[in-house]
Amino acid sequence: MTKIKICGLYRPEDVEYVNEAKPDWCGFIIDFPRSHRNLTPDRVRELRRRLAPGVTPVGVFVDSPVETVAALLNDGTIAAAQLHGHEDEGTIAALRRAAPGCTVWKAFQVRSPADLEAADASAADLVLLDNGYGTGAPFDWSLAGGVQRSYILAGGLTPENIPDAVKKLRPWGLDISSGVETDKKKDLNKILAAVAAARKE
C-alpha cells in the first residue's frame, strides 16, 4: 500500500484534520518565511502535542542550521527531517552525529536523469522527487522511471491524479500539500480523499 504524507500543516485545525484522516506522516515547514505555512520551532512543538498517535511528524527544512534540526529530532518533536535546500552529504553526516539514529529525507528537484543519479547516490534514508518550485505542478513523471531506489513522489499531486501516479510510477510514498488546500488552507474533505486514493489498491 502506498504511504502518504500531508505536508504544510500550520493551524490547529490542520492537525485535527490529519488526526481524522490518519495519513502515514504529516509535515511541518520550519523556519522558512517564504512559505505561508512557515512555523517556528516552538510553534511546531505546540502543534505536535495535538497530534494523534500513529501519524508520524516530519520537519521540513531549507538550509537550516544542523543544530536547529537536531534539537527537534532529539526532543521527539519530529521523527524525521526532510531537507529541501542545498544540503549535501556533509550536512546529512553532521545531522546524524548531532542526532544519533535520526531519519533523514532529502528532496531532489527533478529536471534530468542526472538528478535521479544524485538521488540514487544520496546517503539519506529516503529521497523525495519533486518539482521543487512550490508551484503545485508536477515534474516530468516520465523521468521517475530512472530512479533505482524507493522514493516519495511530490509536486502537483491532487486527490484526482493520485490513482494515475500510483499506477504509473509505483512510488513508495506520496507527499501532498497544495493539492489538499482550498484558498491556501488545508481542506478536510480533500485530505480524506487523498488518503483514500493513496490506499485504494
User: So which residues are the catalytic ones?
Assistant: 7, 130
**3-class SS at 3?**
strand
Burial of residue 35 (CB within 10 Å: 0-12, 13-18, 19+) is: middle
Q: Of all residues in the chain, what percent are helix, strand and coil, respectively (each to 5)?
A: 35, 20, 40
